[in-house]
Every structure is written in C-alpha cells, then in structure tokens.
Amino acid sequence: MRQVLVLVILTAFVIVPTSSAASEPTRILIVGDSVAHGSSGDWTWRYRLWKALAGSGASVDLVGPNDELHNLTSDPAGALAYADGDFDRDHAARWGMALVDPDATMTSLVETFRPDVVIETRGINDLIWFGRSPGQVVDDVAHEIDEARAVEPEVDFVVAGLPQVWFGGATEYNAMLPGLATDLGEPGSRVVVAGTGVGFSEGVDTWDPAHLSATGEIRFAAAVADALAALGVGTPYPRPWPDVDNGHWGIAHDVVATAQERAARLDWVAPPGGLEQYVWVRDVSENAAWVRLPYPVRGEAWTVDGLAAAHTYEFRLQSAKGTAISADFSAVAQVTPLQPLTAAPGAVKGLSVHSAPEQLGLSWDPVPGATSYDVAWAVDGGSSGLLSVTAPHAVLTGLVPGLEYRLTVAARNGGGTGAPAIATGRPMPRVSPPATPRGLRVQPGRHRLRVTWDAGSADTSYDLGVVGETSGYLGRRLVADAPVVYRRLLAGERYTIYVTPRNGAGAGPMAQATGTPTGPHVTGPARLRARALDGGRVRLTWRERRHATAYEVAARRGGSWVSVRTTARPRVTVPIGAGPARSRWRVRSWHQRQPGGWSEPVRLSLTRSASPQHDR
C-alpha cells in the first residue's frame, strides 16, 4: 500500500484522494511531542481524530511503538488513565520530544511500521528548548520527509502547524509551511498542511501555556481530519464542533475530614489528571454560603485552619488541571473542629529555594511544635497553589520555567498557623539529553584536521575523541562549540573523529566522521644507482628528497613491481638471490603515511661468473 506521512496544517490545495485497497486499512503513524502524547486524564486529540475517522466510515489503523499517556500521577496506572480508552491508542509521541531530539529516526519508524500516513506534529520544543530558528525547524521537517521517502518513495505527508502561537517563532514557522508543501510535494508523494496553527486561545484551548484542553483537542483533531480528507482518508471533521467540558477529569473521591484543634485535615483520592483541587467550605452552624478558597491545593491532603471550635463545617472539592476546572464537585465531608489545647507554632526561618528543571525545591528550619507546614506558590496573573507537608522541605513540580514564583511557608499545629516565611524562585527549563550532532565535517589540511558541525543549544558541550588508523587513540577534548582543529597529525594517516554531545541531562548519541591530513608532496628520488655485491646482494643509492621521511624500495618480479624494503636512509643493500642476469629497481619517496613520487627505474646486469644475481 502507498505510504502517507501526515504533517498537520491545512492549506487550500486541491488534492486527488489517495486510493487504497478496500480490504486494507490506511495505516497512520502520529509522531509528536506532549501535544500528541497527552497526559493522565486526557481524551487526547488522537481520540477525537479516531472517533471522527471511525464515524466517517474510514478504515484506518493507528500504528506506533507506544499506547500510553504521560503519567502525571504517582500510580503507574496513570499512564493508561485515558478519559475514554476505547480507541486505537498506538502512536509515536513523547512528552518533551523534538525534531532534533527524536526517540527513533523517521527511517526506523517507517521501516518498522510501514505507515500509509505519518502525522508530524513536532516543532514547539525545537523553538523553545533547543533554540532552533523557524527556518531551521522547517529544514528539520524537510529532512524527516527525505528520510521517509528514502524508505518508501510514495509516502504522503501532512505537516502540523503549532497551536501555541503565543510563543516566539511559532507564527513564523506556521507561515513557512505552505511553501514547504509546495516545494516538496510530488504527484507520487504529496505534502499538505493542516490548520492546527489557527484559532487557539491560551488558557481556554490549553490548560497551561503548552498543552491542550478538551476544546483544544477538538480544534486540533478537526484540522488533522480535514487534512486527511484532502488526501482521501475519511471526511472533513463534522460541523458544528461538539460542545465539550474543559474540566473533564471527574471528581475526587473518598474525601475524609478529620477534626483538629480549630482546624480540619482533608484527605482524598484525586481523579487521574486532576492535579489540583479547589477547596469549598461552608459553616453549617452559621448557615453560611459555600466559599471557594483562593488557591487550588496540590496533592491528596490539606489542613484548613482558622475554623471556629465546636462549629460544624462542610467541605467539597473541585478538581482542576491548570486553567481547566471541573464543573462537578466531590461528595461533601462534614467535621466539627476541636477546642485548641496548644499554642500556635512560631515563624518559619531559614527558608531556601533551589531551582531545578520545571521544579522548585524548598527547605527550612524545623519549627518546634509544628505538626505540618503550608506551602503556597503564585505567579502574578497566573497559576497558584497550596501544598501541605509534614517535613521541613517540599518540591513543587510541573512549574513553568522562567516565571518568578512567590513562595510562602507557614508552620501549623492544632493551635493555628505561625508567621510565614516568604521567598521567590524561578524554575529552570526542562533538559533532555542532546541530539546527535548534525552536519559533522572533517576538513583536511597540512598535518591538521579541522572539525565542524552544526551548532546545538547553548547549554550543550561536546566531547571529542580521535583515533588514528595505525597510531591508535590520541585522547579526548571537551569543547563548547565548533570548530576544533587538530594539529601535528601524520600526513596520510586516516583518523576517525568521534563527537558526543553533553548537557545537564547526560550524553546524547555520538556522531563520527573520518579525515586524512595532507603533507608536502615529495617527488621521486633522483640519481638512483644499483651496484652488484658479492653474496647475491645489490647496493642501491639515490639522492635524498626534502620532506621525505622514508623510502620504499621495489623490484620488478613476474611482470609486477613488488615492495621489498623500506628505509629512512638514501641507501640500502638488498639480497636478490638466484634469478635472471638482469633486474630492475625503483624507489618511492614517502612523507610519513603519504606516498610521494617514484624514481626512474634502474636496470642491473650481472655476469654468470659473478656470484651476485638480481631480483626477478
């Protein structure tokens, strides 16, 4: 069956539908990053696409090495916690993957899964984390197309635009894709673009700056379905689009409220994907209305203090995943706080903040009398949250790199809450091992090799090793960037250069190339003379050549020149044994491992009365 690689971004091209055998489904390979991967609790746009294709009557088979979600929970089952897992879940996406940081090459994916359609959705991580320009990312997509066509020349492509147009470079990249489709499209291997880069609103169609909410999934799937329909796979996505709830992760369950001194501890089990819970409370004794506390709580436990002793309170939880908040509530838990028997703890001191990729680590001095600590964080105009811990340290995960977070930590016990400590911190970007260096080139020079490669991200260093074909391992060198020049190398020696990229996440795949340094060209020796000696030997002499480091002596034997001796001096005595009365000789100049010119041959004639005889 013809192959179809799908790049997602729809244009107004008129395209002849792909024909396929009715008995064989169209094999579709989705290659992507976190947007295609999805995370715990998501339906994913892959699910929305599958349902639309099935509803159109299209016979399709999603293929790839994976079928799981990115797990946001502490339970291994979270990796398969789809909102609805009843669809063909196979894919080749991975949270954080980029074109320059693939899990597998396009060559190996096409060889292994033989897709009829490949949907290529990567690019945003290349722009944000790997510092690639829009033009470089387009070139990387073109390289993927070339790799796929090398395996299957009749593969079709649909390229996906980036929905996160609020990130720098995304709009420029999207604008270049129609040109890519025009330049690379062929009658037997078509390239189309799907409109996944149009119409997305941050915080509405995404639950954080990068990842799709339910409405975003619908938008993305619709654009991909339209692009596939242009290739003859299925029909355009049904209009109008269905109404979906962005807060779709269900509700917390097993909610328990435990009475403490003027406080209540809440424990619950969060639904998959419900990273945070908004806590609602009402004072039943005062017949008060429900009030939502201002910050969502992360984790599965939290203590509410400042309550009136002997009053009865009710609590309910509302699950959230970033800006997407469920419309449903948990079951209500009721509690009556106890009268305080102890004093509130003192102020938190010694608060320190450690920045890590997408995380902030906090530690502080233990507070006497504290039974727990409230950790709160917030970004101006952005997300916020609360965490309750019992030890004097905490790690906040899933944060946005580069944003400044305001952090507060307060000690708590049954008597109340002490004075908080306040600090700020900025999470570092997520780091993945670097990709294989591209464009590795070794340029030979006189006794030197100049090694270059395409620049990677600024935080990448390179470990270089050199191995000579006869001289062996010559050591390693750690550099920040290309070029690297090796000097005082042997002319004519074949060297292999190994380049291994490294960053804070470790070493990436190695690239290697070979090169042979040059040297001065040495002409053949002059004035070659041959003289017969007693004992079946011949004495050869010649004039030295500048830059020659060795000389190769050859004799004519059986119609061919055969090397018989190598020497560093301009003279040599060679045994010739028994043979004809005449022999021919020549000498070649060498500069290290690089051959030079040959001398003019010289003929030696021997008489039978003389014992010495020539080489044959």
Query: The domain 526-605 belongs to what CATH superfamily?
Result: Immunoglobulins (2.60.40.10)
User: Which residues on adjacent β-strands are paired with residue 123?
Assistant: none
581 pLDDT higher than 70: no
Q: What is the pLDDT of residue 78?
A: 75
* Percent of the chain residues topping a pLDDT of 70: 94
pLDDT tier for residue 392 given thresholds of 50, 70 and 90: very high
380 pLDDT higher than 60: yes
Degrees (nearest 5) of the Cα angle 583, 586, 587? Answer: 145
Summarised one tens digit per residue, pLDDT across range 109-167 is: 999 999 999 999 999 999 998 889 999 999 999 999 999 999 999 899 999 999 999 99
Into which CATH architecture does domain 441-515 fall?
Sandwich (2.60)
580 pLDDT higher than 60: no
Degrees (nearest 5) of the Cα angle 397, 400, 402? Answer: 120
The mean pLDDT value for 329-343 works out to 91
Q: What is the pLDDT of residue 422?
A: 96
pLDDT tier for residue 1 given thresholds of 50, 70 and 90: very low
pLDDT tier for residue 402 given thresholds of 50, 70 and 90: confident
Summarised one tens digit per residue, pLDDT across range 404-434 is: 999 999 999 878 899 999 999 999 887 778 8
C-alpha dist (Å) from residue 139 to 108, 164, 441, 442, 589: 19, 20, 19, 22, 48
Q: What is the pLDDT of residue 239?
A: 93
Q: What is the pLDDT of residue 241?
A: 93
Summarised one tens digit per residue, pLDDT across range 14-27 is: 333 444 445 699 99
Asked if 434 and 503 touch (Cβ cutoff 8 Å), the reply is yes
Enumerate long-range contacts of 388-394, CB under 8 Å, 24 or more apart.
Answer: 388/297, 388/299, 388/301, 388/302, 388/303, 388/412, 392/363, 392/364, 392/365, 392/366, 392/367, 393/361, 393/362, 393/363, 393/364, 394/361, 394/362
Q: What is the pLDDT of residue 47?
A: 97
Q: What span, in angstroms and rounded, lies between the C-alpha atoms of 321 and 246?
A: 9
Take residue 75 and report the two structure tokens written for it: 């339970």
Q: What is the pLDDT of residue 19?
A: 41
106 pLDDT higher than 70: yes
Q: Which are the contacts of 188, defined by CB distance < 8 A and separation ≥ 6?
A: 153, 154
Answer CATH for 253-335 from 2.60.40.10, 3.90.1300.10, 3.20.20.70, 3.40.605.10: 2.60.40.10
Q: What is the pLDDT of residue 266?
A: 96
539 pLDDT higher than 90: yes
Q: What span, in angstroms and rounded, lies between the C-alpha atoms of 238 and 229?
A: 12
Domain 352-425 and domain 441-515, same fold? Reply is yes
Asked if 470 and 497 touch (Cβ cutoff 8 Å), the reply is no
Q: What is the 3-state secondary structure (H, E, C) of 223-255?
A: HHHHHHHHCCCCCCCCCCCCCCCCCCCCCCEEE
The average confidence (pLDDT) of the chain is 89
> Which of residues 35 and 14 earns the better pLDDT score?
35
Asked if 519 and 547 touch (Cβ cutoff 8 Å), the reply is yes
Query: Which amino acid would we find at residue 530?
Result: A
pLDDT tier for residue 471 given thresholds of 50, 70 and 90: confident
Q: What span, in angstroms and rounded, lies between the C-alpha atoms of 458 and 612?
A: 72
The mean pLDDT value for 391-415 works out to 91
2 pLDDT higher than 70: no
In this structure, of 347-356, 387-396, 446-455, 505-514, the range with the lowest mean pLDDT score is: 505-514
Domain ranges in the chain are 26-230, 253-335, 352-425, 441-515, 526-605
Say which CATH class 352-425 falls into: mainly beta
Fold of 26-230: Rossmann fold (3.40.50)
The mean pLDDT value for 438-450 works out to 95
Q: What span, in angstroms and rounded, lies between the C-alpha atoms of 123 and 36?
A: 12
Q: Closest Cα to residue 321, out of 275, 280, 385, 378? A: 275
Take residue 393 and report the two structure tokens written for it: 């340290």
End-to-end, the C-alpha distance of the chain in Å comes to 65
Q: What is the pLDDT of residue 44?
A: 96
Q: What is the pLDDT of residue 606?
A: 62
